[in-house]
Chain A
Amino acid sequence: MSALLELTDLRRHFPVRDALGRRRGAVRAVDGVSLSVAEGEVLAVVGESGCGKSTLGRLALRLDDPDEGGIRFDGQDLRVMAPAELRRQRRHMQMIFQDPYASLDPRMTVGQAVAEPLRLHGLVPRAGERARVAELLARVGLRPEHADRWPHEFSGGQRQRIAIARALASGPRLIVGDEPVSALDVSVQAQVINLLQDLIREFRLAFILISHDLAVVRHVADRVVVMYLGRIVEEAPAGRLFSAPRHPYTRALLASVPGAGVKAAPLQGDLPSPIDPPPGCRFHTRCPHAQPVCRERDPPLAAGTTAESPGHLAACHFQDTLPPAAPAADHPGGGERLARLQAFFAPKPDIGTAA
């Protein structure tokens, strides 16, 4: 697969000023990140608050300008692109946000919101607009007559479907979803996840999923990058990352997800300040495996000699010698009985009855 989007050594530092406006350092939100996404691929960016994942998503679409680094979309350098050309490119690059209550204009009907990208990019003649909007609404599981209603008349799940229809309207090739299902209740979240997966396959979308929810990421992503204090600490095909994590931070994150029967917290303390990240390996202050070298040398993101997949990179001096990751604890799963009962809840195709 060739990369549709390629980010190289991106940096974005937000200056921090004191009360008198003097510069007092900078938040290193993104501090040297390289990654690529191919057509039809779901790349998940995971990490905790302040790790830089949302800033990275905005940089990827050039909604924010990096201080350094390259952004190539379909081979073209977005950083040197003229504004008019960049606007034309935007039809191929869309974003879905976490809060569907905040991302839709309350003064626009659903139809107007979905039609806006069509007009902006002159994609459909006015006469055909209504039909195209109806088509898009149907594709996300809403009914054509919903076009004449207002955002406040819809539930959170329905609003997120509207936001998805709007993102699809311009026929994008890349979508960045910043916590797109995090605000939804679990049963509605499952419906929206199923919808997104169908759309990604149908349109061969490149999808960057920014999420803190590791179970959702494991379910959806093809490849995962884990960020910590503005850096990628591990990158791997999703199957490998979850079955054989090679960075202590990834392991701690996985062990922290409730439901695996783990009672004791795997990490103590809080995230260090991104204004003044620790020297050497940024994770060494919280790492149970830290050695003196970790305080001095910053480990590169590289494939270790014992990695089973060449695409499995970790930024840890000891990735080859860490004890094997603790296997996922045996979950008190419901086994066959539960699976058979759940089969009755198998999803039906979306036909305008969405929640």
Chain B
Amino acid sequence: MTTPPTANPPPALEVRDLSVTFATERGPLRVLDGIGFRLQAGRTVALVGESGCGKSVASLAVMGLLPPSAAIAGTIRLEGREIAELPPDARRKLRGADLAMIFQEPMTSLNPAFTAGDQVAEALRLHQGLDRAAAMRAAVAMLEAVRIPEAARRARQYPHQLSGGMRQRVMIAMALACRPRILIADEPTTALDVTVQAQILSLLDDLRARTGTAVLLITHDLGVVADHADDVVVMYAGRVAETGPAAQVLATPQHPYTVGLLGAAPRLDGPRGTRLATVEGTVPDLANPPEGCRFKARCPFRIPVCDTVPPLREIAPGHSSACHRAPLESVLEAAA
């Protein structure tokens, strides 16, 4: 968690100034508005935010899985190589081999008509050219690696015969079968019970440490970020609100939205029975976004300059905030 990022090799993934616009009946909908982040090999970056903040669209843009109606602008570099402009065929070859993804609901991402082993083996045959028998042997080894007990027997079972936690393990085995550079995990444990969630997250940590795969973790759970991410990108209404080392952002947030989010989530070590802090109001309509800061209508620290777009500024080494009033110490001094 505390190893400093190595500066020299290009990051496993670098996203710069990424914008995604959907054409809709109501006109263009700019769901991502110039976001950026870097992900180093062997590390975990968490994208956090509430429904509609753009975190899932960002991950689909990296995977190249957005529909043709989405207009994408900006830079996506995989180990230094630009991939945003690649033709669909080349993008498809990257998926599975270099970029892999797991989703919230493993039941809908697994094919109910094939056994767990077949589905893991398929990736190996497709991308590594293994024959059927070798692929199945490798698949069983992968199922063992994700700690499925009696892997050889489970490999012959169909998804409906497996528990939710086991299905997510199969998904992880499929995703990691070809040793991708980057694993995108989109709310991988949201549908799971808390004891199983703990198992899956610790499994992802172990696999990441062993294989050097970089993990982009999409989550809404700040507790998951605290325990499992090196860095965090807090998103709000299609923009980056704040980014930096996870422990630092959670302990000394420099964007009012992060402050509000942390106050709204009840905690096992917080006060009981009190009223929770709330972020009043709702997320702005992206078809008609406000001028300037997108959080201003809900922000208790709003001042006139918030009608202009706040740039993402570095407040402390590696820790940046897109707030005119950051560092927020100034707010406290003004109030004192």
Chain A interface residues toward B at CB < 8 A = 48-49, 155, 185-191, 193-194, 197, 212, 214-216, 218-220, 238-239, 242, 252-271, 328, 331-335, 337-338, 340-348, 353, 355
Contact = CB atoms under 8 A, between A and B. Distances in A.
A345 B268 contact: no
Contact of A355 (B223, B277, B281): B281
A196 to B, nearest CB: 11
A338 B277 contact: no
Contact of B273 (A197, A242, A261, A332): A197
Given A332-B250, A340-B332, A191 B268 contact: no
Interface string B156-170: 000000011110000
A75 to B, nearest CB: 29
A341 B275 contact: no
B202 A348 contact: no
B193 A48 contact: yes
A261 B226 contact: yes
A56 B275 CA distance: 28
A260 B280 contact: no
Given A257-B194, A258-B226, A267-B198, A342 B278 contact: no
Contacts of A220: 266, 273
A345 B300 contact: yes
Given A187-B50, A220-B273, A341 B282 contact: no
Nearest to A187: B279
Chain A to chain B: the 4 pairs with minimum beta-carbon distance, closest first: A259-B223, A258-B223, A190-B264, A219-B266
Nearest to A335: B251
A260 B268 contact: yes
Interface of B: 50-51, 149, 163-166, 193-199, 201-202, 205, 220-224, 226-228, 247, 250-253, 256, 259-270, 272-273, 275-282, 300-301, 328-329, 331-332, 335
Given A220-B273, A242-B268, A262-B198, A344 B252 contact: no
B159 to A, nearest CB: 15
A342 B280 contact: no
B259 A212 contact: no
B263 to A, nearest CB: 4
Contacts of A239: 272
Contacts of A270: 163, 165-166, 196
A355 B282 contact: yes
A99 to B, nearest CB: 14
A341 B331 contact: yes
A254 B268 CA distance: 8
A244 to B, nearest CB: 14
A88 to B, nearest CB: 34
18 contacts: A185-B51, A186-B50, A186-B222, A189-B264, A220-B273, A242-B268, A252-B195, A255-B198, A256-B197, A258-B197, A258-B227, A259-B222, A259-B227, A260-B268, A264-B202, A270-B165, A333-B251, A343-B277
B252 A258 contact: no
A331 B273 CA distance: 20
A354 B328 CA distance: 27
Nearest to B282: A355
Contacts of B205: 263
A261 B227 contact: yes
Given A186-B220, A259-B226, A333-B269, A346 B201 contact: no
B52 to A, nearest CB: 9
A263 B202 contact: yes
Contact of A215 (B252, B261, B266, B280): B266
A259 B50 CA distance: 18
Interface core residue of B50, B253, B264 (most chain A CB under 10 Å): B264
B282 A186 contact: no
A36 to B, nearest CB: 21
A218 B281 CA distance: 26
B254 to A, nearest CB: 10
Given A270-B163, A270-B165, A345-B300, A186 B224 contact: no
A342 B270 CA distance: 13
Contacts of A335: 251
A186 B282 CA distance: 12
Contact of A353 (B251, B264, B273, B281): B281
Contact of B277 (A190, A264, A271, A331): A190
Given A190-B278, A193-B276, A262-B227, A334 B264 contact: no
Given A48-B195, A220-B273, 16 more contacts: A48-B196, A155-B282, A186-B220, A187-B278, A219-B272, A239-B272, A257-B223, A258-B224, A259-B226, A260-B269, A261-B226, A331-B226, A332-B226, A334-B262, A347-B278, A353-B281
Contacts of B202: 263-265
B273 A187 contact: no
A267 B264 contact: no
Nearest to A198: B275
A256 B198 contact: yes
Contact of B195 (A185, A242, A253, A344): A253
A184 to B, nearest CB: 9
B275 A338 contact: no
A347 B195 contact: no
Contacts of B332: 337, 340-341
A259 B282 contact: no
A197 B275 contact: yes
Contacts of A338: 251-253, 259, 262-263
Given A256-B194, A258-B198, A263-B205, A194 B278 contact: yes
Contact of A186 (B251, B265, B280): B265
Contacts of B165: 270
B242 to A, nearest CB: 13
